[in-house]
Amino acid sequence: MEGKAVLFKQFGGVDAVPICLDTQDVDEIVAVVTALAPSFGGINLEDISAPRCFEIERRLDEALPIPIFHDDQHGTAIVVLAALRNAAALLDRKLGDLRVVISGAGAAGVAVAKMLFAGGVSAGDTVVCDSRGIIHRGRPDLGATKAELAELTNSAGRTGGIVEALAGADVLIGVSGGQIAEEAVAAMAPGGIVFALANPTPEVHPDVAARHAAVVATGRSDFPNQINNVLAFPGIFRGALDARATAVTDGMKVAAADAIAGVVAEALSADAIVPSPLDPRVAPAVAAAVAAAARRDGVARA
C-alpha cells in the first residue's frame, strides 16, 4: 500500500495515504470509508475480493460525492482494453468481430468483461469461465453477478470448460491464476491474442502462448507487453481530481484506455502494444482524457 502511494505521487502528483482496515465485513468497511471520506478527494479501494467488492464500491459510489475506484477491478480492465485495442489494430481486426474468452470471473474478470463491452467488444461473442467452467444461462450455481454475466454473454450457449470455450476463439484473457493447457491454446483461431495475466505464474507461459498466438501479453515485468495497473490509476485520479469529478464513469474509463493505447499507437509491434509502466507520457495523457470525459459525462465540478 505504501508503494502504491509512492506511485500515485510519482506519476500523477497525487498525495495518497495508505489506510488498511482489519475487517472483511461489508458494512464495517462502508461505514469506516464513509466516515473518513471528508478528508479525501477520492478513494482507491484495494485488495477486496469478489463478490463483496462489488457491493462495497456500489454503496460508496451512492453515498459519497467523490470518485470511488477499485483498482483490482477497473485498473486491470482499463489497461486490458487499451492493450486489446492496439493488438486488434496491429492485426487489422475490429474489436466487435473478435470472439473473446475470459478465464476468471472474480473482481478482475467481471470488470474486464464489462470494460470490453463498453469499449466495443461484442458481449454475445464473449465467453466467461470460472473454476467450474463456462458461465451460461442454464447453470444452477450462479450468484447475482455471474447470473448477470450469463444473460449478457455467450449467445451461442456454449457449455463445458476452458477447452470448449477456447476452440476457435480469437482472444484469451486470463485473470484467474488457473493453468491452461497448451492444447487448448493451440485450438484457438490462427493469429490469435493471448493475455495471460496471472502473476507470477501466468495461466499459460508466454513462450508457450507465442507458439500459437500472434500477440501475447502478461502481468510480468520480464516479458514484453506487461499489463500493469500503474498505467491507469495515477492518471485517472489526477484527471478526476483536476475536474473535481463526483464519480468515475464508464466514459472516463474508456477515455483512459484510449489515452493509454494512444501513447504507442504510432509505433505498434507485437512486443509493444502498451507503453512501458515507467513511460512518463502516460499519466498526463490519461489525466487530460479523463478530465475531459468527466466534463462530457456531467460529473465535473471544475
Does 297 carry a binding-site annotation? no
Quickly tell me which residue has 489497461 as its cell: 79
Q: Are 204 and 185 in contact (CB under 8 A)?
A: yes
Buried b (16+ CB within 10 A) or exposed e, 215-242: bbbbbbeebbbbbbbbbbbbbbbbbbbb
Q: Determine the residue type at 252.
A: M
Grid coordinates representing 144?
447475482
C-alpha 46/C-alpha 4 separation (Å) is 10
C-alpha 170/C-alpha 95 separation (Å) is 10
C-alpha 177/C-alpha 219 separation (Å) is 11
Does 250 carry a binding-site annotation? no
Does 199 carry a binding-site annotation? yes
C-alpha 75/C-alpha 142 separation (Å) is 25
What stretches of the chain show up as alpha helix (H) in DSSP?
2-12, 26-36, 52-63, 71-90, 107-119, 144-152, 162-166, 182-186, 206-209, 233-242, 250-263, 282-296
Does 225 carry a binding-site annotation? no
* Residue 252 main-chain phi, psi, to 5 deg: -70, -35
Does 72 carry a binding-site annotation? yes
Known binding site: residues?
46-47, 72, 199, 228
Known binding site for (S)-malate: residues?
199, 228
Known binding site for a divalent metal cation: residues?
46-47, 72
